Every structure is written in structure tokens, then in C-alpha cells.
Amino acid sequence: MEEVIICEKPSSSEKIAKALSSKAKKKKYNKKVNYWEIEEEDKKIRILTAVGHLYSLTPKNPREKVFFDLRWVPLYETTKNKSYVKDYVNAIKKFAKGADRYIHACDYDIEGTLIGFNALKYGCGSESLDKVQRMKFSTLTKKDIKESYENMIDLDINQVDSGIARHFLDFIFGVNISKALMKSVVNVKSRYLTLSAGRVQTPTLSILVDREKEIQKFIPEPYWLIKALLNHNIVADYSKGKIFDKKHAEEVFANSKKDSNATVKSVKISKTKKKSPVPFNLGGLQSEAYNVFGFSPKRTQNIAQKLYTEGFASYPRTSSQKLPESLNLPDILKRLSKNSEYKKHTSKLPKKLKPNEGKKSDAAHPAIHPTGILPTKLDKDELKVYGLIVYRFISIFGEDAEIESMKTNLDIGGEDFMFRRKRTSFLGWLEHYPYSKIENDEFPDIKKGDKIKVNKIKSEQKETKPPGRYNEASLVKELEKRELGTKATRADIIAKLYDRKYISGKKIEVNQLGENIIGTLKEYSANITSEELTRSFEKDLDRIMNEKITKDKVVDNAKEEVLSILNDIEKNEKEIGNGLYDAYQQSRIVGKCSCGGDLAIKYSPRNKSTFVGCSNFPDCKTAYPLPRGANILKSKCEKCDLPMISYGRPVKRFCLDPKCGKPAESYIPEVVGKCPECGEDLIKRSGRYGEFIGCSGFPKCKFTSSIADLKNNNQNESSQEKI
């Protein structure tokens, strides 16, 4: 009997092979692709692997006006820098045909299911689908792998259909709408611009633009805070908080200054319990890693995925905050106790283990948890995320913490003041979670009727602040709250908005290009930016899983919506083309010319080079050369107020005007995206053959790409959604 097991990644195939047999042999195809063989008396098992998606969608007829008729083809045919995929496709085709049984052992989620399904259908042949079974596991431990092999389930065709529908939706929305937008600019301005719109990307950008407008429209309102500085290091606040009436603030301030002592009106000490946290789901882990370590959601997701493939943690792409009863929790804690640091905490847990769980569940996978296998070789960032998962896991079994609160009301010159203090009277779970803030205020020994000396009365004038900007973690939460995207794609969506330079900064600012694009689209084709439309399709994709709607019906509905949007674009082609072109031109402006015109990045066909020139040309002939590979920075030259640029090796900063005498200074290069291999920043580098894109994690991560390939890859990904 011959069996073929299809895995999602090479690291997974190795784990599965070694878990199923200590006699598993590693072999090579074409000197590049590893696969595994297990030979038993009556059975031969061959373990083959994909490298993520092996197949992608492409139009059957590229000359059609609208791309609705699609087919699956090997990924290397559609994406230039994925040529290595060819060997994996060929290995499956060579070794998988004619088996007696096929086993789908890719990650148990929609994407993993689709990866394995396509590998079986197009690599092993359609007949393999009649002989396929599914392994379902949440950790790559030997125990879980063997159990999933011995208790295989049927392939969930509804999960497959949901994955296929998602890819079709992402393609027909992304490619067709992006193509129509670019065509509108060409037809109106005879200029080609690379633009992208996506089913999820564009509504996400619209959310950020709405916040940007709130901030721009915000009018600050003055208010006053009255504070009393007392003995015992007490700072008491006027009990009614912010005072928006200046006259009233002056009255409170004057009255308070009349009394040199504060009279204690009441002292109330209360106790509250602080429950232990719930287990991490992916969004919770991303948010906590951002708050504690400053890691981007994409970086955290990549690290969590590595911890899973190495067998140290469970599958990360989960919405669940629950741990199943089948999980051997005491055994995991016992294994963690082999680490002396973790043992300090596990040894203090209650004998009766009862985890505090959240409300969210996920049919596919439990909450993120350590497997109990202790890692040996992890870098410092991976250790941080692993430690975060372990300490959160330990703390969910901890007892409730106890917090004492002291609220004191005071009278100062007939005005009411108050102060609060907090201290932790019982640490409980807080002792096991080093990332929590522990309240430890001192309680002054005072009682009702006591007098406390007033050292100073302060009146502080402040202004109300606009709504805060999103950061990457809070935007992930917002997308989850609005049901846009999926747990697996939200970090990618945000990373791609950075890549396209629509947004910038840790506190996310929308750049002129992104803001103007959304403004134009909302005015002339609002459905492109509609989160309601996106959300309804997300719900339809879930309904496919529950057999409440068919894949074909969802795709047909999407085609109708896309045709409606394309009709809007065509009807308003002139306005949209002008608007998008103007938005692009605005994004090219880098400063002001001395004549009053705008300094903007321009292209010289004669010299085939870019430069900065004045918008009032030919009346004003001010122009500055841009060295090859130079980046224009936001900072201004202190000497002449022109923008600074960076280039060279090592990279240095210079004034835009080469005649300016400001000395050059060292500079960290501008980030142009996120590394697809490790999640670190991608930056422009210079080599002997010119400019290229390289990972900032070099030499640990050696990912590189040509600028052209990166653009092509981004365009392809944007057109197939995952945006």
C-alpha cells in the first residue's frame, strides 16, 4: 500500500515524518527539494511538501475587458520571483501519482486547506480527491501528529469552497478595479500610474482617512485643571475635573488659595478583585506584543508561526480564547517546569487547575498556548514572544489578584478636592505575568477631620486633544471589531498600505496620495470604499462553511458588484482620472520654491532620470538633480529649508541643493516595506550592480529583491487581494 502525505511547508513535513517513524529517510528531488519516505512491511509512505500556495489565479483570456473567467496555474507562471516553486510542483507531480491513499496534512484553516486541495487536484491529479483523508492538528508535537494520523477525518469541502471563493473575490475585485482606475488616468491624462484597490485594503485605508479628517477638523477647546500639592506627597485634583469656564476656574483657584490646610471630609478604602487574563488568540497576542515590545502585528505573526512550525507553540491563526478539555494542561505545565525560571511560577499555582477563558471560540483551533517543548535555539525577539505566550499561559491558572483603593475627599477653601491611591494587597496571577503593571501606592495615615498642609495650589491651562491616531495594533483591533479581513490577513493588509506609501509612521498618518485617492473614490464610486459591502462578503464566506450559500452564488454576487463599480468608474472616468492624477501629483510635491511654486519630483525622458523641479516651469527654471537611488526625506535643511535627501554607501543625508554648504550626516535608510521572510523592515541598499531592496535583518536574513520585482510582486498580490 502506498500513501502520500501533502504538507504545507518543508519544516512541517520534517516534523510529521519524524513523528510518524524514527526510520523516516530524507531524500532530495532535483538537488533542491527535500521529501521523506517511510517504509514498513505492508506500507510505503511518501511525505511531500508545498511552500505555501503553489497555485494562483489568472485570467483564461488576458485580452478580455473584464477578468471573470479564471483558472488556477502554478504560482511561478504569475509571479516572477517565485521560480523556486516549480521544483516543489514537479516533485509532487513526480512522486504523488498512483498512490492508494492521499493525506492532506496542511494547516487546518481555510488557506491551509486550499493549499493542500490545489496541490492534490493539480499536482497529484483529480482522482486523488476520491482517496483523500485529512489530518487535523493544532500543534506540531509528536503526540498531536500521531493522534491526528490515527484519527483522520474527511476533507471539509465547504472549507475548500470558502477558500476558493475568497481567492476569486479578491482577484475579481482587486485586478478589475485596479485596472479600471489606471485606465481612467491613461484615457484622461495619457499617463500611466500604478494604482491598486482591494476588497479589504481600500475600506481599511478609508477608515484611516476618516480618522485623519477628524483630526484635521478638530478644534481644540481650552480647559483648566486645579491641583493642590499637599504634605505626604499628595496631589489632589479639583473633584469636578476639567473646568471649561475660565471665570469659574479663576474662582475655584482664588478660593482654594485662601486656605493653608486641607480638611479631610471622608476616607474610603475598598477592595476589588482583578481576574486573571484569558489565553491569547492571534489578535490578542499581536496587541500585547506591540504594547510590550513594540513589535508590528506582522512581525509577531511571523514569529508565532515559526514557534508553531518548530513545535514550541500551538497554531497561531486562531480566534479562540478557550482551551479544550482534551488538552493535557498539567503535563504542559510539568514540561515547562524543567526551565528553572518557569518553575518559580508553576510551583506556586493552585493544585486545582482551572484556566480563566474568554468568550471567543474557533471551531478549527484552540487558543494559543505553549506545547511544553522547551526551545533551544531562538533569537532574542523569538524568545520574547515565546516568553509572552508561556507567562500568559501560566497566569491564566493564577488566583485573582486583590487591589485596595483609597478615595479621599478634601475641603480646601470651600472647594471640593479628592485624590486616589491604589496598592496590590494580593498578587495572585500578577506574580506570574511580568508584563503587568503592579499598583504599589503608599496610603497616607489619615482619617476624617484631619488637617493636611497645603504647599501650593496650581492652575493648569490645557486644550482638548483630537482623536488619537491608530497604531498597527489598534488598527488590527479596529478591523476585527468591524469584521473586515480575517485573523490571518489583517497584519498583511496594514503592511501593504505601508508598502504602497499610502500611510507612514508608528502613529499612522495617511499620506496625501492615500487621502486624495479615497476622497476621489468616495465621491464617484463609493462602493469601492464601502466596508458594509466588504463585511457582507466576509459573512457570505462564513456562510459557505455552514452550507447556507454556495460558492458559485457568492462569486456571482461579487461579479454583479464589480460590474456596478466598473460602471461607476466608466461613467465618471474624466473626474476619477483627473482626481487620481492630481492626487498622484500632489504626492510628488516635496516643498516650496522661492518663487512661490511647488517643488515636485519630475522625470526627464531625455536623460531618463528623475529630478526636482518647480511647478511654474518654464517661467521658473529652478531644478535640483536627484542622484540615482536617492530618497527624499521629510526633514528640512537647517541652512536653506529645502528637503533633505539620503543616498550613498554608507547612507548619508544631504541637502537637496548640492550647492548648499551643509555637511553630510549619517542616516538610517528609509523603510520601503516589510520582509516576506522574517517580517523585519525592507530598505533600499546599493550594491555593485546598482540599487536593490534588502532586509534590514541582514546578515541573519538574506532576503533581497530587485526594485522591479518587488513592484511586480506587490501589484500581483494587490490584484489577488490579501491586501
Q: How many percent of the chain have pLDDT more than 70?
A: 93
List the catalytic residue out of 55, 76, 88, 315.
315
Q: What is residue 711's predicted lDDT score, i.e. its pLDDT?
A: 46
Task: Kindly report each contact of residues 68-71 with a partner whose C-beta sits within 8 Å and lies 24 or more positions away, as own/partner.
Answer: 68/172, 68/176, 68/559, 68/562, 70/168, 70/171, 70/172
- Secondary structure, 3-state, 318-374: CCCCCCCCCCCHHHHHHHHCCCHHHHHHHCCCCCCCCCCCCCCCCCCCCCECECCCC
Q: What would the pLDDT profile of 150-192 be if each residue is shown by its tens digit? A: 999 999 999 999 999 999 999 999 999 999 999 999 999 888 8
Q: Which of 50-64, 97-111, 302-316, 660-674 has the lowest mean pLDDT?
A: 660-674
pTM (two decimals)? 0.83
Q: Which amino acid is at 200?
A: V
> What average pLDDT is seen over the chain?
90
Q: Is the pLDDT of residue 429 over 50?
A: yes
pLDDT for residue 229: 96
pLDDT in tens, 580-625: 888 888 888 888 898 999 999 888 878 778 899 999 999 999 999 8
SS3 track for 581-610: HHHHHHHHEEEECCCCCEEEEEEECCCCEE
Asked if omega into 618 is within 30° of 0 (cis), the reply is yes
Q: Which pLDDT value is given to residue 57?
A: 97
Q: What's the mean pLDDT in 36-49?
A: 93
pLDDT digit string (tens) for 230-273? 998 999 999 999 999 999 999 999 999 999 999 999 999 999 99
For residue 708, the model assigns a pLDDT of 47
Nearest CA among 668, 667, 663, 665 for reference residue 639 = 663
Helix (H), strand (E) at residue 52: none
Question: Does the structure show a pLDDT above 90 at 9?
Answer: yes
Report the distance separating Cα 418 and Cα 416, nearest Å. 7
Do the beta carbons of residue 415 and residue 445 sit within 8 Å?
A: no
Instruction: Read off the pLDDT of each residue in 642-671 and give the average, rounded to a whole number.
Output: 75
Judge whether residue 571 has pLDDT over 70.
yes
Query: Would you list the DSSP string of 472-522?
Result: HHHHHHHHHHTT-S-TTTHHHHHHHHHHTTSEETTTTEE-HHHHHHHHHHH
283-395 CATH fold: Topoisomerase I; domain 4 (1.10.290)
* Mean pLDDT (whole number) for 693-701: 72
Higher pLDDT, 717 or 76: 76
Residue written as grid cell 475641603 = 411
Does 210 score more than 90 pLDDT? yes
**315 included as an active-site residue:** yes
Closest CA to 459 of 249, 235, 234: 249
Domain 165-217+470-584 has CATH 3.40.630.30: no
Q: Which CATH number fits domain 2-155: 3.40.47.10, 3.10.310.30, 1.10.8.60, 3.40.50.140?
A: 3.40.50.140
CA distances 198 to 312, 476, 540, 554, 715, Å, are 35, 17, 17, 17, 11
Compare 284 and 669 and report the one with higher pLDDT. Answer: 284
- Contact indicator for 594, 622 with CB cutoff of 8 Å: yes
**CATH architecture assigned to 222-275+401-463:** Distorted Sandwich (2.70)
- Tell me the per-residue pLDDT of 545-564, one tens digit each, with 9 for 90 and over: 999 999 999 999 999 999 99
Domain boundaries in the chain? 2-155, 165-217+470-584, 222-275+401-463, 283-395, 593-626
